[in-house]
């Protein structure tokens, strides 16, 4: 069976880091097995769905380099859901219910007070035809529930959690359609997975109880359920579920100067037994992707770790990867000279300013000013001007180590640290370098 996965966001907001991780892992699962990855836009909630969020989802996936091989929109598939609804109704697997939210909440409170699980008591099944006719005559439109088979044990082999078993009698019959005719998540998702040929559903562990219900829905629709796997949810580094993670999206990462490769490298292995490393080659991440490495403990998202990985990824980027993002006049040699000092590509402008000048030099002591004047005269351009200059000054002045190198760096760059001067000095150029040494010498 060819593996086919899907990512199914609702266009009611921007993708956040948890969504991104789900999309990535489904894409990687498909890639690992030579399968296909699909995008499904869950836009049945017409009131909350917004088209600009659909555009944002596409833009975010494109930025991440996660390319779906096909797309479906639930708003274009309503006829399929109606058909499935009628099939289930004819089979006696769905039924109308008339309780208000207040009535349901009261029932839950009573059950909890009696020490019972707060599940739906199937009160609507006790209504007679006359009862239903009376309610509808009063203008009370029904919502619709899927009737779980209490005699059928719900089991599946979860790709992360292992063997799963649920007692259907301990679950509420889920509402699948609202009184206004609009759809909730459960049934349309099953119908789409069947018609799209989805073989594997990888999602967060908060969907485990949904899966238990949907396993019976697939059976009721005469379809084999896909393989399910539920990964641990993301938490902040403090170990608690964080509202902040719900607002961290691709736009926030882009604004921070995070490379998509860095985010991919972190999220690919977050929550697994594999080490999180600054791996820019996605093929290597895909090759090592394995659901058996996923743990049950919450996966901790740490901004500090992302920044560390981002810096390491930047240090691997070739000139061709970034040339369109660099300041004018900055060539490949300049990129290779400055790259090891960057945490983000955006930082390059500050370092390039050291090459193009002007630089702010510190005030030097008289002895160092004399030394820098000597350096200005000793500067001879060659294939290795920095090496030749420091070798000459070491011999003529007896200086070595920090007293030899630091005043030169400070005069030429205005910094106490920075790129390798052997690479930086040729970028500054002979005339500009000599002028800076002379200015520092006073």
Tokens coding 382: 């060659």
Concatenated DSSP letters of 291-337 = GGGB-SSPEEE-HHHHHHHHHHHHTT--HHHHGGGSPTT--HHHHHH
Binding residues are 243
**CB within 8 Å of 238: residues ≥ 6 apart:** none
Start-to-end C-alpha separation, the chain: 77
Q: Determine phi and psi for 204, rounding to 5 degrees.
A: -70, 155
Q: What secondary structure letter does DSSP report for 4?
A: E
- Separation of alpha carbons 159 and 296, rounded Å: 11
Binding residues for ATP are 243
Q: What 3-state DSSP class applies to 415?
A: coil
Concatenated DSSP letters of 419-442 = S-HHHHHHHH-HHHHHHHHHHHH-
**CB within 8 Å of 352: residues ≥ 6 apart:** 326, 327, 330, 334, 338
**CB within 8 Å of 86: residues ≥ 6 apart:** none
Nearest to 3 by CA among 38, 47, 44, 45: 38
Q: How many degrees, rounded to 5, is the angle at CA 224 between CA 219 and CA 230?
A: 95
* 411 neighbors 346 (Cβ within 8 angstroms): no
* 340 neighbors 420 (Cβ within 8 angstroms): yes
Conformation bin of residue 357: beta by default, left when phi > 0, alpha when psi is -120 to 50? left
Tokens coding 440: 């520092």
Kindly provide the residue ranges of all beta strands, DSSP E only, lying in 98-174, ordered along the sequence: 143-146, 154-158, 162-166
109-120 CB burial, b ≥16 within 10 A, e <16: eeeeeeeeeeeb
- Separation of alpha carbons 391 and 324, rounded Å: 38
Tokens coding 64: 């991440």
- Separation of alpha carbons 58 and 67, rounded Å: 9
């Amino acid at each position: 069976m060819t593996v086919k996965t899907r990512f199914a966001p609702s266009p009611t907001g921007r993708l956040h880091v948890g969504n991104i991780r789900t999309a990535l892992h489904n894409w990687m699962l498909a890639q690992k097995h030579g399968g296909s990855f699909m995008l499904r836009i869950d836009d049945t909630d017409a009131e909350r769905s917004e088209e600009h969020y659909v555009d944002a989802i596409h833009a975010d996936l494109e930025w991440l380099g996660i390319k779906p091989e096909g797309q479906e929109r639930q708003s274009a598939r309503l006829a399929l859901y109606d058909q499935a609804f009628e099939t289930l109704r004819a089979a006696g697997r769905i039924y109308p219910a008339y309780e208000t939210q207040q009535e349901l909440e009261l029932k839950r409170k009573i059950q909890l007070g009696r020490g019972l699980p707060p599940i739906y008591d199937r009160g609507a099944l006790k209504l007679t035809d006359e009862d239903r006719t009376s309610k509808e005559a009063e203008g009370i439109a029904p919502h619709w529930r899927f009737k779980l088979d209490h005699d059928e044990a719900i089991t599946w082999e979860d790709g992360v959690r292992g063997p799963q078993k649920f007692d259907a009698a301990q679950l509420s019959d889920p509402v699948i359609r609202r009184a206004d005719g609009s759809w909730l998540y459960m049934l349309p998702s099953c119908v789409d997975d069947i018609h799209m040929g989805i073989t594997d559903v990888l999602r967060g562990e908060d969907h485990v109880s949904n899966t238990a219900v949907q396993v019976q829905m697939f059976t009721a629709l005469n379809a084999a359920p896909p393989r399910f796997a539920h990964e641990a949810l993301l938490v902040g580094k403090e170990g608690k579920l964080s509202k902040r993670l719900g607002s961290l999206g691709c736009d926030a990462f882009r604004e921070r100067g995070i490379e998509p490769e860095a985010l991919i490298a972190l999220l690919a292995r977050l929550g697994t037994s594999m080490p999180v490393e600054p791996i820019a080659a996605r093929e290597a991440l895909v090759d090592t992707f394995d659901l058996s490495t996923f743990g049950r403990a919450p996966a901790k998202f740490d901004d500090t770790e992302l920044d560390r990985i981002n810096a390491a990824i930047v240090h691997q980027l070739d000139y061709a990867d970034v040339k369109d993002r660099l300041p004018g006049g900055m060539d490949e040699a300049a990129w290779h000279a400055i790259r090891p000092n960057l945490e983000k590509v955006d930082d390059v402008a500050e370092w390039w300013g050291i090459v193009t000048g002007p630089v702010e030099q510190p005030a030097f002591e008289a002895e160092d000013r004399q030394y820098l004047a000597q350096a200005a005269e000793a500067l001879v351009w060659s294939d290795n001007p920095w090496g030749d200059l420091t070798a000459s000054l070491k011999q003529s002045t007896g200086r070595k180590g920090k007293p030899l190198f630091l005043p030169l760096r400070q005069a030429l760059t205005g910094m106490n640290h920075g790129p390798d001067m052997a690479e930086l000095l040729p970028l500054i150029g002979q005339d500009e370098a000599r002028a800076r040494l002379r200015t520092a010498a006073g």
